[in-house]
Structure 1
Amino acid sequence: MAWDVLSLIGTVAFAVSGAIVAMEVKYDLFGVYILGVVTAFGGGALRNLLIGVHTDTLWEQGFLFKAALISITIIFLSSHNLLSHWEKWGIYFDAIGLAAFAVQGAMFAVELNLPLSAVIVAAVLTGSGGGIIRDLLAGRKPLVFRIEIYGGWAALAGLVIGLGLFEGDVALYIILALTTTLRILSIIYKWRLPFRTMPD
């Protein structure tokens, strides 16, 4: 049950995120749908390539593709007044998508009995892979590499799940909520990982 719920939450959240970014960079209707779908399913495709799962399993997710297309259509047809508030509430969609797919990716790796390192990488790739592809296709610096903590929260979720610290559907929803909250707090309070720049 948790798997299906996380898949739906992540798919809708990232499909909306991709569609919004496409409209921000003034892509046409085709571009909006492509970027929305790629954002929603790109992370799972990258994860499957990494851990050796056939990527054609993505095409068996008919319900999720329909959910993504419906979500993109709703966003595309939304009023300009509603879309103008994206900067305020858009981070929530991206944070929810990151958390849902990070937890899902970690669960997937655990079910395959992969080592802890693979569980963490699967969480990061599933959680942020779609966003990386989205930003690259939109000509933007990928969010995961920017100053605010992004991929780090996905890695932390993968670590917790990989260590088996929490088990059961309720625990997974708690990890989802905590990862989402930490991502949003890192934006509000400008938490950041250490970084250095090259001298001029």
Structure 2
Amino acid sequence: MDTWEIFTIIGTIAFALSGAIVAFEEKYDLFGVYTLAFITAFGGGMIRNIVVGIPVSAFWSQTSLFIITFCLITVLFFLPAFLFKLWDRWGVFFDAVGLSAFAIQGALFAKTANESIFAMMLAAVLTGVGGGILRDVLAGRKPMVLHSDIYAGWALMGGIVIGLGLDHPIMQYSLFVLIIVMRMLTVHYKWRLPQVDKRI
């Protein structure tokens, strides 16, 4: 199993958990929970493929990931309710893991296709934040990436670093940890990008 596949699995699991927990919070029914979990886990990659020009058939070739996601969400239904209270503490962490894993995976995906560094940056951002944007929109929430804090910037950083030639797996895993740490520090210290107030 190569690095690209490992980051794909990590990101899929982390974002599937993120989508399912948000669905539980919004009191979605059974179908809604599965739908939001799958969209969060696979939405970013789907958007990236459309923009980059990857055939739609590539999306449906991820049978093993579909099965993993389905089984994971099914297990969540049998967990006691009190465990989900831990989401307030660990939810941001899982989201950070998904962001980091998918940003790197997206950049590596573009790199294996011999795309430019700009394509790697775009692929990193789209893969890293796309699923989360779809999750928030379907849950009736403002997409965090557009207003809350520094979020897409860390995905962009991953794309830049991969684009500059970070080829060794150890360095890629180090980047994976770094993005998670920076995302958690962003939340802890409430780092923000400048906001524009043009109210009339």
Aligned partner of 1:64 in structure 2 is: 65
Identity of matched residues, %? 49
Aligned to 1:52: 53
* Alpha-carbon distance in 1 for matches of 2:10, 2:56: 21
Q: How far apart are residue 115 of structure 1 and its match? A: 1.5
Q: C-alpha distance in 1, partners of 2:148/2:138?
A: 20
Aligned to 2:35: 34
Displaced runs of 4 or more, over 3 A: none
Per the alignment, in what secondary structure is the counterpart of residue 193 of structure 1? coil
Structure 1: distance between partners of 2:84 and 2:147: 24
Deviations for 1:127-155, whole angstroms, at most 9, x for unmatched residues?
Answer: 00001111111111011112211101000
Q: CA deviation at 1:75?
A: 2.1
Number of aligned residues: 199
Shift of 1:112: 1.3
CA contact (8 A) 1:19 1:76 kept: no
Name the residue aligned to 1:109. 110
Superposition RMSD in Å = 1.0
3-state SS in 2 of match to 1:140: coil
Q: Which amino acid aligns with 2:35?
A: I
Q: Are 1:74 and 2:75 an aligned pair? A: yes
Q: What 5-or-longer segments of structure 1 have no aligned partner?
A: none
CA distance in 1, matches of 2:137, 2:102: 19
TM-score by length of 1: 0.96
Q: Does residue 195 of structure 1 match 2:195? A: yes
Deviations 1:67-94 (A, max 9, x none): 1111212223221110012111111110
TM-score with structure 2 length normalisation? 0.96
Any idea what the Cα deviations from partners look like across 1:89-123, whole Å, max 9, x if unmatched?
11111000000000000001111121221111100
Output the CA distance in 2 between the equivalents of 1:75 and 1:16: 9
| Letter in structure 1 aligned against 2:174 | I
Q: How far apart, CA to CA, are the structure 2 residues paired with 1:77 and 1:185?
A: 33
Superposed counterparts of 1:114-125, under 5 Å: 114-125=115-126
SS in structure 2 at match of 1:41: helix
Amino acid at match of 2:59: L
3-state SS of 2:101 partner: helix
Compute the displacement of 1:17 (Å): 0.4
C-alpha distance in structure 2 between counterparts of 1:143 and 1:56, whole Å: 30
Partner in structure 2 of residue 149 of structure 1:
150
DSSP-derived class of the 1:198 partner: coil
Q: 2:118 and 2:63 mapped to 1: Cα distance?
A: 31
